[in-house]
Amino acid sequence: MKNWLLAARPKTLPAAIVPVWAGCVLAWKLQGSWNPWLAFCTLAGAICIQIATNFFNDAIDAQKGADTEKRLGPTRVTSSGLISRRAVFIAAGVFLFLATLCGVVLYQAVGWPIIAIGLPSLYLAYGYTGGPFPLAYRGMGEVFVVAFFGIIAVGGTVLIQMNQWREEAMLLGFQIGLLSAVLISINNLRDREEDASTGKNTMAVRLGDRGARFLVWLEVKVAAFCGLLWLKHGLPWLTLASLPLLTLGMFLLFRVFSEPAGKGMNSLLALAGIMLILFAISFHAASVFG
């Protein structure tokens, strides 16, 4: 069980939880109510897709030789021989099946938009590192995260709760997507040299060390200043959700520009995860008390 928990990468789950959490809060803020059962199914489906993505990533990276003895991050169960590649692939398929069951419930509530959202999400759990055009190997990891763990995840959650697309959900999704992309960018900065040696052309490999650090700066800054757009929507209190980005975020950026690439960046990943969660807490508080 310890090995399977390691493969599931529980520290990455905030990237699946926060969009659904914040999306439900936004839907409640806009219409004064929310549906707990649909929220549960949305959250369960998002978590299952995240875990399936992590399993596929573990198995495919090992298959392609991307995880080597030079690895600076947590142990990968397939490349280290703790679990067979076949077992990890099967487990990923099981979690995609569970996500599909959640999708059936959501389809009955909302209809065809769930198929439009769900099918690409299910495929890209595998296509992030596998298939003919693996996004992680083409420097598109951050774009994928902003789109699917941000805009689509939040917009889809609000759609499920309100049965309509909302411009406010796109704004919130863009902010959350950028903050989730910070996790990917720091991870790729840490692993840049190893990835370059194995042909994994992440954004950090393409941009180089300084460019990869600047990308993290850009993600945090844009997410923070996008908070001002809540004024345009007549929801000024929601600008306060950006406070963690102007406090913990500034400390994180100081560390990003001063910390040499290596194992020390594992603590920066933890800080980025905390910042994402604090943003959700601040957004929730601002929605309730504003």
CATH of the domain at 109: 1.10.600
**Token pair 């704004």: residue:** 171
Q: Are 63 and 86 in contact (CB under 8 A)?
A: no
- Tell me, what's the pLDDT at 215? 96
- Tell me, what's the pLDDT at 198? 78
Q: Which domain holds residue 280?
A: 2-289
- Tell me, what's the pLDDT at 99? 96
Long-range contacts of 233-238 (CB under 8 A, 24+ apart): 233/167, 233/168, 233/171, 235/29, 235/168, 235/290, 236/290, 237/286, 237/287, 237/289, 237/290, 238/283, 238/286, 238/287, 238/290
- Tell me, what's the pLDDT at 66? 59
**What span, in angstroms and rounded, lies between the C-alpha atoms of 59 and 62?**
5
- Tell me, what's the pLDDT at 70? 58
Please give the angle made by the CA atoms of 35, 169 and 154, to the nearest 5 degrees.
65
Question: What's the pTM?
Answer: 0.92
Neighbours of 26 (CB within 10 A): 28
- Tell me, what's the pLDDT at 69? 55
Those residues whose C-beta lies under 8 Å from the C-beta of residue 234, and which sit 6 or more positions away, are none
What residues of the chain score a pLDDT lower than 50? none
- Tell me, what's the pLDDT at 3? 86
Domain count, the chain: 1
